[in-house]
A and B are shown apart, each in its own frame.
Chain A
Amino acid sequence: MSIQVLMPALSPTMTEGKLAKWHVKVGDEVKSGQVICEIETDKATMEVEAVDEGTVAKILVEEGTEGVAVNTPICVLAGEGESDADAETPAPAATAEAPKEAPKSEEKAEAAPAAPAIVAPAPEPEWKGGTQHMTVREALREAMAAEMRADESVFLMGEEVAQYQGAYKVSQGLLDEFGAKRVIDTPITEHGFAGLGVGAAFGGLKPIVEFMTFNFAMQAIDQIINSAAKTHYMSGGQMTCPIVFRGPNGAASRVAAQHSQCYASWYAHVPGLRVLAPWSAADAKGLLRAAIRDPNPVIFLENEILYGQSFDVPEDPDFVLPIGKAKIERVGKDVTIVAFSIMVGKALQAAEELASIGIDAEVINLRSLRPFDTETIVQSVKKTNRLVSCEEGWPFAGIGSELSALMMEHAFDWLDAPVKRVAGLDVPLPYAANLEKMALPQSSHIVEAARAVCNR
C-alpha cells in the first residue's frame, strides 16, 4: 500500500509554507527518520523526516513551490514489493490521511457550559458544651496537634518550627509531642521546601507547610500555583495535593514594605486552591482542622497581631468549621460591613461607634475567600441595602473589588448606594510610625465609609 506524505505544520499557527528543497528523488528508498525535504516559512526553515519506510514513487509538489497549504500531499511512498504504477492512485494510509475532524459532541461551535452552582456548605452546628478562652496562637497549635494525633500522615515543616518552637511560637511543644520525624526544621529555602511539600502530598502525605510569613511565600508561589493548585485538573483528576500552606499574612507592626503585604486577593484569584483567613481563635482552630482534613491545597492566612488575642473556643473535641461559610458576627439592619482576618475586629469596633450615632451595622466575617460565600452577603444586602468592604491589602483588584462586582451581578436591585471599599492605601507600607498608621485602614475609616453609604 502506498503512503501519501503531507505538508506538515511546523507550529500551531502555520497554515502554508514553501517547499524549499527535496533531498530525495523518485526511486530512492527512504527510512524512518530520514530527511526527505526542507520547508520554509517566514519564521524558519525545517527539515521534514519520513515517518514511514518505502520507495519514493512520486513527487507531487516541485521544489521551490510557494504557498503549499498544510496537509497537501507532497509525495507518495510505495511500500515493499509495490511498483510505481501501483502508486498512481494512492490510497491514503490510515496514519497519513488528512486530519479527521475530532468527533464533536455538538455540531455547532460549542459554548462553554455554565459553571456549576456552588453547593453551600452545611450550616455550622451549634456547639454545645463549654467554651475555653484561648489565644489564636494556642488555637492554631491545638488544631495542628489534634489533627496530627488523628492522622499519622500529617506533618509540619517550615523554618524554625521545631527546635526554636516556632518563630511566633505557634508550633510550641509540637516537637516534644510528635518528634523530629513529624515536626521538621527546614533550611531557609521557601521555593525548595514548598515544592518538596507538594511532592510529599503527591506521594500520599498531608504536609502542613509553615511560611514564617506569607511575604516569603512569593519565593514559592510557582510551586503553590503551578504545581499544587493546577495538577489535579491537569491530571484529569488522578493526582491530588492535600497540603496546607500557612503563616502570618499582612502587616505586622513597623516591619516595612517587604514584610507587610496582604496576599488575600493573589491566592483567592486561583482556581484549584482553597483560601481561608481566620479572625478569632475559634475560626483559627475550626478552620485549620478543616484545612488539614481537606483533600485540596489550602492557603491559610493568619495574622501576627491576632496571635496574642484571646477568644472563646468551643471545648467540644470534634469542633471543626465548614470551609466556605461566612459568619455574621453582629446582626444589624442599616449597613453590611464585610471583613476578614484582623479587619473583622476593626469592623466590630466601628459597628459599636456607629451604634452610638444610630446606625445599626451588620458585620460579616468572611472566613473563607475561596470558595466565597456570596449568598450570605447577598442575603444581608437585601436587608441593609448598603455595603462596605474592608481589607488591609491594596484596593486595586482586591477582595473589595471582587465583592463590588459580585454585588453588581447578584444584588444590584437591592443596593441603595454604591459599594464602598475600605482598604490599605495604594503605597508600599512605610516604616515610620505615623506614615504606617495612615497607610493602614482603621476603624475610623470604616465608620466614615458606613456613614457615607448611609448618607449620615
Chain B
Amino acid sequence: MAKPATKPKDDPSPAKAKSPATPGDNSVSPDELKAHYRDMLLIRRFEERAGQLYGMGLIGGFCHLYIGQEAVVVGMQANVRDKDAVITSYRDHGHMLACGMDPKGVMAELTGRSGGYSKGKGGSMHMFSREKSFYGGHGIVGAQVPIGTGLAFAHKYNGHKNVSLTYFGDGSANQGQVYEAMNMAALWKLPVVYIIENNRYGMGTSVERASATTELYRHGEAFGIPGERVDGMDVLAVRAAGEKAIEHARSGQGPYILEMQTYRYRGHSMSDPAKYRTKEEVDKFRNERDPIEHIRKRLLDAKIVDEAELKAVDTEIRKIVNDAAEFSQHSPEPDPSELWTDILVEA
C-alpha cells in the first residue's frame, strides 16, 4: 500500500479548515485544535485567578483547583451533544467552563455573591446549570456516581439518545456506591460513561496506598463493563477515547469506563501543602507533560498558528478572566431574604 501523502512540515500554505492538524491524525481539524487550546487555557487562567482570590480572602471554605487536568474535560466535552448530562465531584470549575457556563457566574459563586450560579448559596463545590445540562458540583466523594447513573436512567426511560458523562476521581473509585451504581448501569444497559480522573492522589493518599488494584479502568470488569486507560494529559487522546466510549453508551450497549491518567499541580484544596509528593514529581509533570504546552507546541510545529495568534488568544482569555474576577467582586452579596428561599419548591 502506498504511503499516504503527508504535508511537509515546512509547507507555508495556510492550514485548511478540515485538513488534519497533525500528520497521521485525521479526526481533528486545526480549528478544533485551536479551540481545545483556548478552552484549556481558559480553565488554567480561571483557576489561577481563583487561587489568587482565595489568597486574598475573597473566596472562602474549600476550593479545589483543576490545574493540570484540563485536557480531560476539554477532550471529553468535544464529543457531547445538546442535552448530554454532565456531573462531577467538587473539583468542578473546569467542568463548568467546558460545559459553556459563564465564567462570571462561576467566579461570583466562588466569592459567594448573588450573581453566582447558585445565588451564592452553593459555593465552589455546589453549582449547577440546567440550561447547560451540568448537574453539579457534588461535595460528597462518590455521591455523584449513582446520581449520574440516574441521569442516564432518565435519558433511557424517556427514549432520548443522550448520555450521562459521570466524572469522578481515583479517591471516589473505592466508594461502595460507585460499584452499586456500576452494577445497575450494566444490568440495565444505561447510557453512562464513567470518567475516572486518576490524578494519583485522593487528597494525600496515593492510589497505590488506597486501591488494592491500581488499574482503575478494570474496576468495572466484575460487571462486564469495558474500560480503557487513556493519557489524560493529551487532549487528543482523551477526545478519541471519549468518542468511542460515548458512541458505545449512546448506541445502547451500556456503560463504559475511561481511566484518565492525569495530574493535579496544586494541592488537594487550597490549604494542602502537598507534602506527600516530591517537588521533582510535580515539576516533571509541569515541565514535560503539561497538556496546554503540549498542544501549544503542536499548533506551532504544524504552523497552524504563529506566536502572535497565540498571544491574541492569551489576551482574550485574560480579559474573560479579569472580567469574571471583577464581576465576582462587585456582584452584591445575596439579599438576607435569600436565607429562606429555595428550601422547598412551592407547589
- B322 contacts A by Cβ under 8 Å: yes
B56–A238 contact, CB under 8 A? no
- Could you say which of B132-140, B214-222, B297-305 contacts chain A? B132-140
Contact of B154 among A44, A193, A204, A239 (CB under 8 A): A204
For this complex, into which size category does the number of interface residues on chain B fall?
A: 35 or more
B336–A113 contact, CB under 8 A? yes
Asked if A99 meets B60 with Cβ closer than 8 Å, knowing A113-B337, A200-B151, A239-B128, the reply is: no
Which of chain B's residues have a CB closer than 8 A to the CB of A113?
A: 336-337, 339-340
- B31 contacts A by Cβ under 8 Å: no
Residue of B nearest to A96 (CB): B52
Asked if A234 meets B118 with Cβ closer than 8 Å, knowing A51-B49, A115-B340, A196-B181, the reply is: yes
Which of chain A's residues have a CB closer than 8 A to the CB of B57?
A: 9, 70-71, 99
A236-256 contacts to B, CB under 8 A, are: 236-240, 242
Report the minimal beta-carbon distance from B271 to chain A, rounded to whole angstroms.
4
Bound state CA distance, A196 and B148, in angstroms? 7
Report the minimal beta-carbon distance from B26 to chain A, rounded to whole angstroms.
33
- Could you say which of A103-111, A135-143, A330-338 contacts chain B? A103-111
A194–B56 contact, CB under 8 A? no
- A223 contacts B by Cβ under 8 Å: yes
Report the minimal beta-carbon distance from A183 to chain B, rounded to whole angstroms.
12
Central interface residue in A6, A71, A195, by most chain B CB within 10 Å = A195
Asked if A198 meets B119 with Cβ closer than 8 Å, knowing A105-B336, A294-B347, the reply is: no
A163-197 contacts to B, CB under 8 A, are: 181, 186-187, 189, 191-197
Contact of B150 among A32, A44, A189, A202 (CB under 8 A): A202
Contact of B333 among A48, A103, A199, A203 (CB under 8 A): A103
User: 5 closest Cβ contacts across the A-B interface?
Assistant: A199-B150, A8-B55, A192-B180, A195-B146, A203-B154
> Which B residues contact A (CB, under 8 angstroms)?
44-45, 48-49, 51-52, 54-58, 60-61, 67, 85, 87, 111-113, 116-122, 126-130, 135-136, 138-140, 143, 145-155, 157-158, 164, 176-177, 179-181, 183-184, 187, 265, 267, 270-273, 286, 322, 325-326, 329-330, 332-333, 335-337, 339-345, 347
> Which A residues contact B (CB, under 8 angstroms)?
6, 8-12, 32-33, 43-46, 48-49, 51, 70-71, 94-96, 98-100, 102-106, 110, 112-113, 115-116, 155, 181, 186-187, 189, 191-205, 222-223, 226-227, 231-240, 242, 271-272, 274, 293-296
6 pairs of residues in contact across A and B, judged by CB atoms under 8 Å: A10-B270, A105-B333, A192-B149, A198-B146, A202-B151, A242-B345
